[in-house]
Structure 1
Amino acid sequence: MSLAVAAPAVLPALAVAQDAATLDRVEVTGSRIKKAEIEGQTPITTISREDIARTGLTSVADIVQQLTGSGSSLNTKFNSSGNFGFPPDGSGVGAGSATVDLRHLGTKRVLILVDGIRWVNEASASGVSSSTDLNTIPVAIIERIEVLEDGASSIYGSDAIAGVVNIITRKSFDGASASVYYGEYEEGGDTKAGEIAFGGTGDNFSFFMAASHNEQDGISSTVYGPSSVPVPGTGLTFGSSATPNGRFIFTDPNTGVTRNITTPNGQFFPNGPRYPQDFIPFTTATRFNFSQFNLMLTPNERKGVFGQTTFSFDNGVNWYTRVLYNTRESLNQAAPEPIFLGPGAGTGNPYADNILISASNPFNPFGFDLISSGPGANLVLVGRRPIEGGPRRFFQDVDTWYIATGLEGMFELGDRALFWDLNFVRSKNEANQTNFGSYNIRRINLALGPVAACNADPQCVPLNIFSGPGSITPAMLNYIQPVVRDFSENELRLLSFNVSGDLFDMPAGPLAFAAGVEQRNQKGQYRPDALTVAGEYNGVPSQPTRGGYDVDEYYLEFSIPVYEAGSSRLDLSAAGRYSDYSTFGGETTGKLGLRWQLSEEFLFRGTFAEGFRAPSIGELFGAAARFDATLDDPCQIGLDGSPPTAPAANCRALGVPVGSQQINSQISVTTGGNPNLDPELSDSFTTGFVWSPAFASNTAWSERLDFEFTYYRHEVEGAIQAIDAQTQLDLCAATLEQQFCNGITRATTGDINGFANQLVNFGKIETDGYDFDVFWTLPETDIGQFKVSWSTTIVDDYEAVDGLGTLQPQGVGVEVNDSAIPEWTSNIDVDWTYGDFVASWRLRHISDLTEDCGDAASFAVCSDQANGVNNLGSTTYHDLRVGWKAPWFEGTQLTLGVNNAFAKDPPICLSCSLNGYDASTYDLPAGRFIYARAEVKF
């Protein structure tokens, strides 16, 4: 990808050469003032349509996620359903969606615009998200993408703390075009795409229309070694204790001996196992590798149609209309849903935690009741993986409707021309998710209990979870296995008016301004299946969410020319915005900018911006739900037999018996929104320069050479976030202080059976770093012309501190929670053109990372076993592309490319909960991706 510098150092000279009236209409991301002189005040990365084609990618998110300043975010490599649970912000897991993060500040702190107007947030079918699904925007309609990595709340309002992604649609198009695309990995994952577009212009109108279809097949996780072997497995380092043969921990009332037993892996007992002779001790070797049922790449099909028209009236007023409909069908898959029963399960569901597995159940091999609570309690845990019911399959159907219309014009005020626009937007994103392969825990409870109670229900069939794989019959499945359907939606309604122009002349030029008002209404809801609401769902429980808010906003922006002398010019900018929310009141933000052109070669610039992010619908109104976190209990013996790490006296005070061993590292955490949240506030600072040295212009070795340097710093106060659960658990065990232990409860066995982790206004997040870019165009020679682009981002520091002053685990060079902050990332692009032929080579580099091995410190894949740290080595990918502009029709081009040309696998990640690697940082471990594209224009 060749990334253009948005601030050519020769702008003053350019301004003289161009028509002033044309310049007045220039649109600039990061400003509402329509003047070319505004360009360059903030660092903007521009990705052209040609750049997009060069990547060989068919998703907006995949393209933007390759920028060096991007952080971890969702894409189709995330198989994100199953036991992921519900994040505390109520946003849901975002299954099948693709988002973008800038500066590692989170996707909810990035504002997505289309033609300068905000886009609707996604509906994930599992919550009400505050992020935007870029899969709702087809690549076929994009002219270019502009990325502003700077706070812009004073210009655009809430959510622009980390930056803005502004997607500019195609407008000026005469004729028609059609393209087809096919690509596949060595391990499968075929991607097929096609698009058609046509447009035209008349005396007083123009139009553009496009339709696109993109279909991506899935890839099983078994193609990647770490996912296909039972040990170490992935996710839960040692695999799951819910196995097809079952795990049973109880105290035998006849002998007083506590048993932790199972039957041999894969063995089916047609007549039921005999107790105790057919049972063996449960060990690491008998655990279940659930990752082999995952998907490495999720199936995803998108269809979209888009149209826009502009009609010019005789009085100079233009009327525009943009309409889009986009639909996505996607699939996530997880291992057969585990059934955990007893106090050691810690699910928080009374049907599971408080259960009687009756001796009268005809399949119970023990000859006595297994009782979880009350008199005679002897049950600790039953874990059973009913593979007879197949894997869990989550199908998403997501529809997006968008309509925008408005008027644009100009009027004279004295001898000044002022430009105005009036805009109305109505958009909705709604999602349905259908889940096959889950279970009704109330019916499981009934089918395992006294047979008389089961017989009282004419549908009930006694359940056999004791006899190994194959013991659960179709009749049993029909009783306990429902189809679960969830729904959510986000809706945006927006009305805005803007005016821009010059106010009066100053010695260095006219003082320009922009002002405007905006009114937004945002509504959202999440409606889980009635079974889930009733508490009968065996999977992750949740409750409905519904809410909305209105906001009225007013802004004013100035561009102030301070002086101009020869090739030197100094401009200042100032902006302020007032936002009045129905949920919390008013908030004011401001921004100051400086653009100093010291000479034709050198431009210095800087900005200081205040920002804010209003609490979203999910964060405010999200009802109680559950998130299944992977945690190491410091008060219990580890899964690998390692001793507890917390002081023994503290653990006894917390009710943990001596010798208690952690049964499962997947611990249920109760989450939910908080209606008392305040907005996040931020300060953002950037400074840097653009240097285009004259000695490298129009010479024998260089046609043009540009250097761009930017230092950035973001500070977010009162960040809306939940305290890291592992950090809270460790501090509770180490200090016994109530501020950490509040909400953490334990069963009599010592196992955690309650963990409250509600959203709060966090302490603060601080990050700073550097961007360095080089753009070099070489002179054209007999062998063609070369262009070289080199973009590097260095993250100097990242710290997140909660409201209690505790440092959170995220940091530079650290892999944690399926995400990473590399110390530096770098892209080098080399482009070559020769007549009708083009070629490009891209190098993408990610610096090394470290992670805590946890209970896997004894595994060979933990590179530093002595310190319990695994090193994820630096990774470099190579992408190649060649193209030919055919003479058949003007603009027709054939392209062949390969991404990850040397089939580089990502480093193994022990802490990652999906497939043994970080899907938000690295490419898919499925070999080379080879693609071909043909486009015809006529």
Structure 2
Amino acid sequence: MAMESSVSKAVRQGLLFSTLGAMAFAGAGTALAEEGADVERIEVTGSRIKRTDMEGASPVSVISAEDMLNTGEMSVSDILRQSNLNTFGSFSESSGSTWQSQANVSLRGAGADRTLVLLNGKRMPGSPTMGGSAVNLNTIPTAAVERIEVLTDGASAVYGSDAVAGVVNIILKKGYEGLEMSITGTDTYQPGGEEWKASVVGGIANDKGSATFSIEHQDRAIIYQRDRWFSSSTNVLAPNYADTTGVSLYARNFLDMTTFAFSPMEACNNDKMVGGGHIYDLGLGDYACGYDYTSEAADHASRQYTAGYFNGEYYLSDEIAFNTQVMMARNETFGRYAPAAGWFNVDAGQVEIQNWVDGNFLGTSTNQNAGRVYYRFTDVGTRDSTTIDWSTDIQLSLTGTHDAFDWDFTYHYNKQENKNFGEGYVHRPTVEALVKSGDFKFGSEGNSDDVVAAISHDVLAQDTMDFHNVSFGTSFVAGSLPAGDIGWYVGAEYSEYIYEAQVDKESANGEVIGSSGNGSGGDRDVWAVFAESSIPLLDSLELNLALRYDDYSDFGSNVAPKVALRYQVMDGMVLRGSWGQGFRAPALSDLYAADSFSADYATDYHYCEVTGVSREECAQGQYDVTRTANEDLEAETSDFYNVGWIWDITDKLSTKVEYYNLKIDDVITFISLDSMLVEEANRGYGNISNGGQILRAGDNPDGRILEATTPLVNGNGFDTDGIDFNIAYRGAETSVGDFGTNFDLTWVLNYNSPEYFDGPVNDMVGRNGLPEYRFTWTVDWQRGDHYAAIQTQHIDSQYEKTDNETFESSGHIASYTTYDFTYTYSGPWNGSITAAVRNITDEDPRLDSNLTYDSALYSLYGRTYLLTYTQKF
């Protein structure tokens, strides 16, 4: 997307190119009305000391409200997901999961929990659904957003925990005058995902204050896996299971717990199974039937979002103002999984299994040992998940100014209450009891209504986070040098977090088939004091210092320093550099969560070798994993430095180059099952460290994986560096209109991370999900009341696989390029019409050989047509 990085440049140029220039900051405390006007001091993300130039010692990019409109996207999360600064992508709504209502942003590929999100410069607490570790951007009302400032530099010395890879500051409207109504609708070329949105923004202002409000509603349709060729099943009647996609062995199969052989049950002869009972060869004499889960499941959840926002400012005197800000949002999503799938125990002789040898059906055998049934509960129906998230954010503040002395006092309260209601789940103990009594029927005739009612179970998860914050700060001048006065900001704050996650009793006890997760809870208090200074060493050289001390009630304290320099080489050219240390406190869920169940993907190369499958053809499998929290976790620590060069070559042409380097130590991470498999290969079966465990069939080193336990630990860390490049040209006047262009590129030079826990460190840039570079290029045109733009977004190609012994990468995932077009006509009646096409060429996500894709990087919406009408009064 087009981003403008300098307010001062917009002032100098006096541009009317409102989508990228002065209008981006109207009403934000800057004087941009006309060229040559006095420029007020503004607070720029990354520092609390106000200044007159956006290009300070730390890099800040700005996305204006007009930029957001021109993307054609309807939510803050979708807008930020497009940015090249969201280097390796970020989480978006995923149907059926407990996170299906959540979306976040991850700067520098460092993770959403290392990207701090601010609302009007104040910390937003993390979503309780994500354990308090990251902010859910789906709580932010888009219509209320004035602009988004993205600081691509470490800022723990200013803001505290989580500001490791950067800061996203979402600045909401205030001081608005007038009334604006807008409605948008979309139509998709591929099935599913249609959206519509309506909003109202209004306000009044006078010499005693102002009042601004917004109301909006958004509705987005669900996308099913069967709606896309790449997410629906393929080759389902192949003889070998490895040649299929979208087929699960949780169907009607039996695992003998004595021989650990898989066998299809007689119940495979069922129209709801693939081919009415098609049998797959698993290798080594194992056979099974399958279930096509893509015929029922959805990929993206539907979403209904309603939000209201109010900002009121009243001047108590010429020097003191009182501000009230209230934001409330309700976010409801619906997702669907295929019918519940899981295993349950049966005694010897309780089920009938089919006898298969070398691909030949030899009849039915009841002579089987005790074992596990891997079963799909089609009688119960699909698992339907509805989430309802409520978010309330209130900020009350007093601000004062007297000559060169400013002060501010703010009380900030945020409450998030998220509920997830799930239907279609199954109670394992009841199933096992009914199997034992003979009342549970495995065959195609199905079970009676009474049995279905007895085994069915509804799940409930409720997550809450209460956040209280009181902050006070003062900005003043103390001391001077020949080049000017020394500016200071000194402040303190107190924060309280109360987190609770509850699930129904049966889920907490691990009794529910098809469900995961567990309850947790905790609270913490945080005290902090901080100071900044801006020191003009020379007329052209400015030194910025920052220091912050945080004291946590539950894990300890931290001191974070930062040093930055800004050198004005000549008029229009700036060199800058910064260095700082940061930290990320363990999330409350990291410390206190109860053990939870997960179904993790991993590649068991050892078992492939045992079964005669080559490493190249060894596919990922999904395994039962128990995740454990850790009360002894320490904070992550980081070092970040940045060097930048900004040059306004002419009044119309500018460029910017930034080099960044981020190193993070003591990373809080689950030891992945893949990592434990490598450790097992090196140390031998049963010798996993840090409390991890892999259990194989028969406790045999050569058996298939039955289950695993993955602990949460402080790992070694990783480091990454790269370059951000921007070039922009504005105001190319021609007889057919004025043209402009903006090009933003992020190039990752290195991403050095351990191959597995405590393993060798290698550069992973270019591997699956870690593209070397991505860019956004916009070309726009304006003539009178007509405006048009075409935007190109490109993600570099990647390798598909990396061998876990040699660490050599192979396979190819093609690069990804999409084109978006926007046209706006602004009518003389104060109304405007915008027509847009997203993904003009209808590009599908880039797929690997198993037809899977990285949902954090790619969108599955395909070509989308959009029409917006806006009326101002």
Contact 2:353 2:364 in 1 (8 A): no
Contact 2:31 2:39 in 1 (8 A): no
1:812 to partner: Cα distance: 1.2
Deviates more, 1:533-542 or 1:806-815: 806-815
Q: 1:690 & 1:868 partners in 2: Cα distance?
A: 37
Q: 1:803 & 1:677 partners in 2: Cα distance?
A: 19
Question: What secondary structure does 2:613 align onto?
Answer: coil
1:937 to partner: Cα distance: 0.4
Q: 1:591 & 1:827 partners in 2: Cα distance?
A: 31
Contact 1:897 1:930 in 2 (8 A): yes
Q: Does 1:539 align with 2:514?
A: yes
Number of the residue aligned with 2:477: 502
Name which of 652, 655, 659 aligns with 1:707.
Answer: 655
Deviates more, 1:56-65 or 1:311-320: 311-320
Name which of 775, 794, 813 aligns with 1:872.
Answer: 813
1:41 to partner: Cα distance: 1.3
Contact 1:197 1:208 in 2 (8 A): yes
Number of the residue aligned with 1:674: 630
Deviates more, 1:423-432 or 1:535-544: 535-544
Q: Does 1:250 align with 2:203?
A: no
Name which of 376, 393, 414 aligns with 1:402.
Answer: 393
Q: 2:166 & 2:114 partners in 1: Cα distance?
A: 7
When residues 425 and 395 of structure 1 are mapped into structure 2, their CA distance, relative to the original with a 3 A threshold, is same
Name which of 839, 842, 856 aligns with 1:900.
Answer: 839
Q: 2:516 & 2:260 partners in 1: Cα distance?
A: 34
Question: What secondary structure does 2:599 align onto?
Answer: strand
Contact 2:182 2:198 in 1 (8 A): yes
1:63 to partner: Cα distance: 0.5
Per-residue CA deviations over 1:776-803 (Å, capped at 9, x if unaligned) read 1133232111110000000111122389
Which residue identity is paired with 2:308?
A: V
Structure 1 unaligned blocks of 5 or more: 82-92, 342-351, 371-377, 452-461, 646-660, 698-703, 856-866
Question: What secondary structure does 2:676 align onto?
Answer: helix
Q: Does 1:847 align with 2:782?
A: no
Number of the residue aligned with 1:225: 229
Contact 1:121 1:129 in 2 (8 A): yes
Q: How many residues align?
A: 832
Q: Does 1:814 align with 2:767?
A: yes
Which residue identity is paired with 1:790?
A: F
Question: What secondary structure does 2:605 align onto?
Answer: coil
Q: 1:506 & 1:101 partners in 2: Cα distance?
A: 40
Contact 2:186 2:195 in 1 (8 A): yes
Number of the residue aligned with 1:463: 440
1:908 to partner: Cα distance: 1.4
Q: 1:132 & 1:907 partners in 2: Cα distance?
A: 27
Contact 1:6 1:40 in 2 (8 A): no
Number of the residue aligned with 1:833: 782
1:65 to partner: Cα distance: 1.1
Contact 2:264 2:353 in 1 (8 A): no
Name which of 141, 144, 154 aligns with 1:141.
Answer: 144
Name which of 913, 917, 928 aligns with 2:853.
Answer: 917
Q: 1:191 & 1:257 partners in 2: Cα distance?
A: 49
When residues 384 and 16 of structure 1 are mapped into structure 2, their CA distance, relative to the original with a 3 A threshold, is closer
Per-residue CA deviations over 1:215-235 (Å, capped at 9, x if unaligned) read 001121112222223338999
Number of the residue aligned with 1:589: 560
When residues 665 and 493 of structure 1 are mapped into structure 2, their CA distance, relative to the original with a 3 A threshold, is same
Deviates more, 1:624-633 or 1:432-441: 624-633
Contact 1:786 1:831 in 2 (8 A): yes
1:642 to partner: Cα distance: 0.6
Contact 1:578 1:588 in 2 (8 A): yes
Q: Does 1:483 align with 2:431?
A: no
Per-residue CA deviations over 1:86-110 (Å, capped at 9, x if unaligned) read xxxxxxx522211000000000001
Name which of 620, 623, 640 aligns with 2:594.
Answer: 623
Name which of 638, 645, 665 aligns with 1:689.
Answer: 645
Contact 1:777 1:787 in 2 (8 A): yes
Q: 1:853 & 1:803 partners in 2: Cα distance?
A: 12
Higher strand share: 2
When residues 38 and 6 of structure 1 are mapped into structure 2, their CA distance, relative to the original with a 3 A threshold, is closer
Q: Does 1:44 align with 2:15?
A: no
Q: Does 1:727 align with 2:704?
A: no
Q: 1:506 & 1:669 partners in 2: Cα distance?
A: 62
Q: Does 1:523 align with 2:498?
A: yes
Q: 2:323 & 2:279 partners in 1: Cα distance?
A: 73
Q: Does 1:35 align with 2:51?
A: yes
Q: Does 1:632 align with 2:623?
A: no
Number of the residue aligned with 2:25: none
Number of the residue aligned with 1:185: 188
Q: 1:921 & 1:360 partners in 2: Cα distance?
A: 45
Question: What secondary structure does 1:527 align onto?
Answer: strand
1:463 to partner: Cα distance: 1.0
Question: What secondary structure does 2:711 align onto?
Answer: coil
Per-residue CA deviations over 1:403-431 (Å, capped at 9, x if unaligned) read 1101000135xxxx211000001111111
Number of the residue aligned with 1:888: 829
Q: 1:663 & 1:779 partners in 2: Cα distance?
A: 54
Name which of 131, 134, 147 aligns with 1:131.
Answer: 134
Contact 1:236 1:630 in 2 (8 A): no
1:509 to partner: Cα distance: 1.0
Question: What secondary structure does 1:4 align onto?
Answer: coil
Number of the residue aligned with 1:862: none
Number of the residue aligned with 2:428: 441
1:38 to partner: Cα distance: 6.8
Q: 2:244 & 2:406 partners in 1: Cα distance?
A: 61
Q: 1:237 & 1:609 partners in 2: Cα distance?
A: 50
When residues 601 and 500 of structure 1 are mapped into structure 2, their CA distance, relative to the original with a 3 A threshold, is same
Q: 1:130 & 1:489 partners in 2: Cα distance?
A: 13
When residues 337 and 34 of structure 1 are mapped into structure 2, their CA distance, relative to the original with a 3 A threshold, is same
Number of the residue aligned with 1:561: 536
Q: 2:772 & 2:278 partners in 1: Cα distance?
A: 51
Q: 2:272 & 2:202 partners in 1: Cα distance?
A: 66
Contact 1:73 1:107 in 2 (8 A): no
Contact 2:5 2:55 in 1 (8 A): no
Contact 1:247 1:262 in 2 (8 A): yes
Q: 2:854 & 2:529 partners in 1: Cα distance?
A: 42
Which residue identity is paired with 1:491?
A: D
Number of the residue aligned with 1:574: 545
When residues 798 and 363 of structure 1 are mapped into structure 2, their CA distance, relative to the original with a 3 A threshold, is closer
Number of the residue aligned with 1:346: none
Deviates more, 1:188-197 or 1:12-21: 12-21
When residues 20 and 130 of structure 1 are mapped into structure 2, their CA distance, relative to the original with a 3 A threshold, is farther
CA RMSD, 1 decimal: 3.4
Question: What secondary structure does 2:800 align onto?
Answer: strand
Contact 2:213 2:311 in 1 (8 A): yes
Question: What secondary structure does 1:36 align onto?
Answer: coil
Question: What secondary structure does 1:189 align onto?
Answer: coil
1:358 to partner: Cα distance: 5.4
Contact 1:61 1:134 in 2 (8 A): yes
1:339 to partner: Cα distance: 2.6
Question: What secondary structure does 1:923 align onto?
Answer: coil
When residues 16 and 198 of structure 1 are mapped into structure 2, their CA distance, relative to the original with a 3 A threshold, is closer
Number of the residue aligned with 1:658: none
Q: 1:22 & 1:610 partners in 2: Cα distance?
A: 36
Q: 1:151 & 1:404 partners in 2: Cα distance?
A: 25
Q: 1:258 & 1:747 partners in 2: Cα distance?
A: 10
Contact 2:165 2:662 in 1 (8 A): yes
Contact 1:10 1:600 in 2 (8 A): no
Question: What secondary structure does 2:681 align onto?
Answer: helix
Which residue identity is paired with 1:463?
A: F
Per-residue CA deviations over 1:699-742 (Å, capped at 9, x if unaligned) read xxxxx111100000100010111223212212312332835595
When residues 308 and 289 of structure 1 are mapped into structure 2, their CA distance, relative to the original with a 3 A threshold, is same
